[in-house]
Amino acid sequence: MSLSQLKAPKGAHRARKRVGRGQASGLGKTAGRGAKGQKARSGNMRFEGFEGGQMPLQRRLPKFGFTNVFRREFEEVQVSKLDSLPAGSVVDLAALEGAGLAKGKSDGLVVLGTAELKSAYTVKVDRVTAGARAAIEKAGGKVDLLPKPQTMYEKARAAKRAATPEQSAAKAAKKAAQAAEKAAKAAAKAEKLPKAEKKDKAEKKDK
């Protein structure tokens, strides 16, 4: 068999549907569009979910849920898998990633399970279940919980509060200058007031 002898399977080439070519075709008169109305007109481009102008279903149903931008994704590891690491080693997300037990693309590490361990480990995690902690400590190991990372707002607040000595001195000097300026204005105003009163009395005497 050669390429020139290949034929398309039966039904692969179908004739294009020709509408509006007489009633005998089955798609004559109204060309399969029914009688009148928006759907029978040319340029009928109704968007998805349009219900003719009435309040559509997707707007009648209530909204629910939200996306938490501060959500943290944790890598979950069973306590039984720690025995595959060298005895007495420090277990953290980097160590588990190197051993192929974690992907390392998460925001923290969680140790789960209640299996018994054969060796002692120092486990540095973000979260640990009560059963996993008991199993690690029973084997002579230790669990260190890592501090929770600060959010962008907490970092900005801490940076604002932790001012350098130079910034604190500049701020204090600015406040002192403002207080001195305010006191000078008050003194000048107090000096002008008696002079104005004397001038008013002199004008009254002249009259």
The strand pair at 108-112 and 74-78 is best described as: parallel
Task: Assign residue 135 a region (left: φ > 0; alpha: ψ between -120 and 50; beta: otherwise).
Answer: alpha
For the chain (207 residues), the mean pLDDT of every run of 10, in chain order, is: 91 91 92 90 88 92 88 89 88 88 84 89 92 91 88 82 77 90 86 66 63
Length of the chain: 207
> Measured between alpha carbons, how far is 91 from 103 in angstroms, rounded to an integer?
14
pTM (2 d.p.): 0.48
Q: Which fold would CATH assign to domain 74-145?
A: Ribosomal Protein L15; Chain: K; domain 2 (3.100.10)
Question: How high is the pLDDT of residue 56?
Answer: 95
Residue 99, SS3 per DSSP: coil
Question: How high is the pLDDT of residue 10?
Answer: 92
Q: Which amino acid is at 10?
A: K
Question: How high is the pLDDT of residue 199?
Answer: 64
Q: Where does CATH 3.100.10.10 sit in the chain?
A: 74-145
Across-strand partners of 145? 125
